[in-house]
Amino acid sequence: MDIIFITAALVAVGSTVMVITRLNAIHALLYLITSLLAIAVVFYILGAPFVAALEVIIYAGAIMVLFVFVVMMLNLGQHAEAEEQRLFMPRMLVGPGVLALLLFGMTLYVLALPHATAGGRMIAPREVGIALYGPYLLGVELSSLMLLAGLVGAYHLARREVKG
Amino acid sequence: MTQFSIDYSLVLAGILFALGLVGVLARRNIVFILLSIEIMLNAAMVAFVSAGARWRQPDGQVMVLFILTMAAVGVAVGLALVLRMHRQFNTLDADAASSMKG
């Protein structure tokens, strides 16, 4: 189990270093997604399968797609196609690809093991849900309020000014 | 129970947080600053999950859910600000908006 943990941690740290040193935003996003997947493996090993799944679905899925959309919106222009021609370098896929393949192999290995957690006990989604809607109910309400405020704020800030 | 993984996941959280901090301090592109903030939030999530695994309580994971919500809201508002800044200053340089007007 420890070797899996160390490998996932090294992948996470390595791809995070690549994120903060890239010049191209899309390349950095690719490495950040790899880093998030590695962190999801770490969560799974620590006995938190629910959070590991949420990390993949919400972080690597939804939030990073938002980033990709905005980065692509910023690049729009007449020279966008020429820019894309220059930007698409298949060799940039090698780094994230190799790291992601490593993670995939580790996931298969972990799933094949009988008791795959380092914490001694897996904390099931059921317990998390009971805690979330029990003692932390006020926090859930406050998060919903914050999401509404974020929705209104993002709409207001990104809206184009209507003159007159 | 291997104490090893839980001790070292705190080290991992520290390293990731330091990397995110370096990113915020070193980069001037505002998109990269937002990405580095996400890295730091992820480091906090790793710390919470490892603490929850140490005491075998679900509270750490509940906190991670709240951090996830906050990160989503932060990214939405932050990216709206990035679009706004790109429209107004025509650059993504954070220094372009460093001075206040009026």
Model confidence over B16-69: pLDDT tens digits?
A: 999 999 888 888 888 899 999 999 999 999 999 999 888 888 899 999 999 999
Chain B residue nearest residue A40, CA to CA:
B46
A3-15 average pLDDT score: 91
Q: What is the ipTM of this complex?
A: 0.90
Q: Which CATH architecture group holds A2-121?
A: Up-down Bundle (1.20)
The predicted structure's pLDDT at residue B41: 95
B66-83 average pLDDT score: 93
- Structural domain spans, chain A: 2-121
Q: Pick from B49, B79, B28, B87: which is nearest to A150 by CA? A: B79
Place of tokens 């932050």: B78
The predicted structure's pLDDT at residue B3: 65
Q: Are the CB atoms for A110 and A122 separated by under 8 Å?
A: no
- Report DSSP letters for A58-103, one per residue: IIIIIIHHHHHHHHHHHT-STTHHHHHHHH--GGGGHHHHHHHHHH
* A46 vs B5, B19, B76: nearest CB: B5
* B76 vs A20, A42, A66: nearest CB: A66
d(CA A132, CA A154) in angstroms, rounded, equals 27
Q: Is the whole model's pTM more than 0.90, yes or no?
A: no
* A147 vs B16, B65, B73: nearest CB: B73
Whether the predicted pLDDT of B75 surpasses 90: yes
- A22-67, pLDDT tens digit by residue? 888 888 899 999 999 999 999 998 888 999 999 999 999 999 999 9
Q: What is the CATH number of the domain that holds B39?
A: 1.10.287.3510
Whether the predicted pLDDT of B79 surpasses 50: yes
B6-19 average pLDDT score: 88
The distance of B102 to chain A (nearest Cα, Å) reads 20
Question: Which tokens is B68 given?
Answer: 């996830």
Whether the predicted pLDDT of A76 surpasses 60: no
Higher pLDDT, A82 or B93: B93
Kindly determine whether residue A39 and residue B75, on different chains, have CB atoms separated by under 8 Å: no
Is residue B102 domain-resident? no
Q: Pick from B42, B50, B46, B45: which is nearest to B1 by CA? A: B50
Report the sign of the C-alpha dihedral through residues A36, A38, A44, A45, in that order.
negative
The distance of B17 to chain A (nearest Cα, Å) reads 10
The distance of B20 to chain A (nearest Cα, Å) reads 8
> What are phi and psi for residue A15, nearest 5 degrees?
-70, -30
Domain coverage including residue B84: 3-97
d(CA A4, CA A44) in angstroms, rounded, equals 11
d(CA B34, CA B42) in angstroms, rounded, equals 13
Is residue B87 domain-resident? yes
Q: Are the CB atoms for B37 and B24 separated by under 8 Å?
A: yes
The predicted structure's pLDDT at residue A107: 77
d(CA A85, CA A92) in angstroms, rounded, equals 13
- Give chain B's domain count: 1
A74-84 average pLDDT score: 59
d(CA A117, CA A107) in angstroms, rounded, equals 12
Chain B residue nearest residue A61, CA to CA:
B72
The predicted structure's pLDDT at residue B1: 44
* A131 vs B62, B71, B82: nearest CB: B62
- A92-141, pLDDT tens digit by residue? 777 888 888 888 888 777 777 766 555 567 788 898 899 999 999 999 99
Q: Are the CB atoms for B15 and B81 separated by under 8 Å?
A: no
Mean pLDDT of chain A: 83
Is residue B22 domain-resident? yes
Kindly determine whether residue B83 and residue A51, on different chains, have CB atoms separated by under 8 Å: no
